[in-house]
Amino acid sequence: MQRSTASTAIALMALVLTSAAALPAAGNGGDDPPAVEVVASGLDSPRKLSFAPNGDLYVAESGAPSDAPGACFEHPQFGEVCVHHTGAVTKISKKGAQTRVVEGLPSAVSAQEANGPFDVLVKGNTLTIAMGMGGSLEHRNQLGADGSLLGTIVDARLKGKDVQPSVRADLLAFEAANDPDGQGIDSNPVDLLSVGKEMIAVDAGGNDVLLLGGGDDGVRGAIAVLDPVMVSPAPFPGAPDPFPAQPVPTVATVGPDGLLYIGQLTGFPFQSGAASIFRYGPDGLEVYATGLTNVTDMAFAGDTLYAVQISDEGIQSGLTGSLVEVDPGGDHTTVVGDLFAPYGLAIRGDDAYVTTGSVAPGGQVIRVSLR
């Protein structure tokens, strides 16, 4: 059983889940391989994506290295991390036109990856964007104004070319003040979920799922904190066996039963088959499915749950991943495989939209038929 952070967590979720929206329907693929089509390209580390009510698709681009880096800090794991203002949001209109509607957002770029915009939700003319970080408050403070939006949730109101983002919630500040998992200060906002009038954010660095909308930092409280994942064998000599890998939650979505489902990547050593999907029920978090690998996003189509695995064998073995259909208990079937670093998932009608090439410039959005 994973930990709930407070006795009020069930009450918090009761407020949220009473207004869950209806979910689209989709069928299974059958024996024939699904039709796959590229609908957008040339994206810089595309992560998650979501549909606006009018059918336009918005994609969060986490950024890329540039010729004009800003302030830097030294990360104990990733080495030098510098701010590059290459984070963006791209709109793919329902007619297929591709346009960057937000540019110049900060991205924390290291030799391994770019952490900038991870997710985007659309309401009217306002985009709500999860800004990744992957570091501590001390690290962000070293970046000054260059990094002030990292580790936050921002609102960006579209007004022609003049987009001025404002901070809705500061997840890094909440993490620094509370450290719900007790593992030290680290924050990396990666996922947003809107349910009725409420908004939920997933912090992959803090290992928690947060309800927004209160306090000085814009966070009402932690809904749940995930425990470490015990994996074996140990990843290096002298390490404990089993080894406590970080849980790294990456996504929260509402199921057809009105309950919250949470997926996880799992941290080093990124072991194959170690990721689970949890369901938040009356008794807190319970395991819904096991045996997955490095899950980054998931969504329901009717009663069917689909998940993206950024790597099928574990990140340390490469970044060839897949879109899978998940059955309760852990059985999963590949819908489409051999994808390079897939990350985000959005479903509309009988089609799944998946970002690929999520760790570098030149990423894409593909459309996969679920019929």
Confidence of residue 103 (pLDDT cuts 50, 70, 90): very high
Q: Which of 6-15, 37-46, 95-104, 329-338 has the lowest mean pLDDT?
A: 6-15
Minimal CA–CA distance to 59: which of 43, 82, 74? Answer: 43
Q: Mind listing the pLDDT tens digit for each residue in 189-210?
A: 999 999 999 999 999 999 999 9
Helix ranges (DSSP H) in the chain: 9-17, 137-143, 171-178
Contacts of 101 (CB under 8 A, 6+ apart): 58, 89, 90, 91, 127, 158, 163
Q: What is the SS3 assignment for 189?
A: strand
Region 22-45 average pLDDT: 73
The pLDDT value recorded for residue 10 is 42
Confidence of residue 5 (pLDDT cuts 50, 70, 90): very low
Determine phi and psi for 140, rounding to 5 degrees.
-65, -40
The pLDDT value recorded for residue 136 is 94
Residue 27: is its pLDDT beyond 50? no
Residue 13: is its pLDDT beyond 60? no
In a domain, 2, yes or no: no
Specify whether the CB–CB gap between 82 and 97 falls below 8 A: no
Q: Which of 169-173, 204-208, 278-282, 312-316 has the lowest mean pLDDT?
A: 278-282
Q: How far apart are CA 366 and CA 347, in angstroms?
A: 12
In a domain, 3, yes or no: no
Average pLDDT taken over every residue of the chain: 90
Q: What is the SS3 assignment for 321?
A: strand
Specify whether the CB–CB gap between 154 and 131 falls below 8 A: yes
Q: Report how many domains make up the chain.
A: 1
Sign of the torsion formed by the C-alpha atoms of 79, 269, 245 and 108: positive
Q: How far apart are CA 169 and CA 215, in angstroms?
A: 9
Say how many CA atoms lie within 13 Å of 124 toward its Cβ: 5
Residue 52: is its pLDDT beyond 50? yes
The pLDDT value recorded for residue 9 is 46
Sign of the torsion formed by the C-alpha atoms of 191, 139, 293 and 234: negative
Region 11-22 average pLDDT: 44
Question: DSSP letters of 282-318?
Answer: TTEEEEEEEEE-SEEEEEEETTEEEEEES-SS-GGG-
Supply 255's token pair.
């199921």
The pLDDT value recorded for residue 221 is 95
Domain residues for 245?
9-369
The pLDDT value recorded for residue 18 is 45
The pLDDT value recorded for residue 2 is 52
Region 38-60 average pLDDT: 97
Q: Mind listing the pLDDT tens digit for each residue in 106-118?
A: 999 998 889 999 9
Residue 14: is its pLDDT beyond 60? no
Region 128-140 average pLDDT: 95
Comparing 32 with 227, the larger pLDDT belongs to 227
User: The pTM is what?
Assistant: 0.92
For the chain, give the percent of residues with pLDDT over 90. 82
Comparing 230 with 29, the larger pLDDT belongs to 230
Specify whether the CB–CB gap between 64 and 86 falls below 8 A: yes
In a domain, 4, yes or no: no
Q: Mind listing the pLDDT tens digit for each residue in 313-332?
A: 999 999 999 999 998 777 89
In a domain, 20, yes or no: yes
Minimal CA–CA distance to 13: which of 368, 306, 254, 288? Answer: 254
Confidence of residue 85 (pLDDT cuts 50, 70, 90): very high
In a domain, 1, yes or no: no
Residue 260: is its pLDDT beyond 90? yes
Contacts of 275 (CB under 8 A, 6+ apart): 229, 263, 264, 265, 266, 292, 293, 294, 295, 309
CATH number where 35 lies: 2.120.10.30
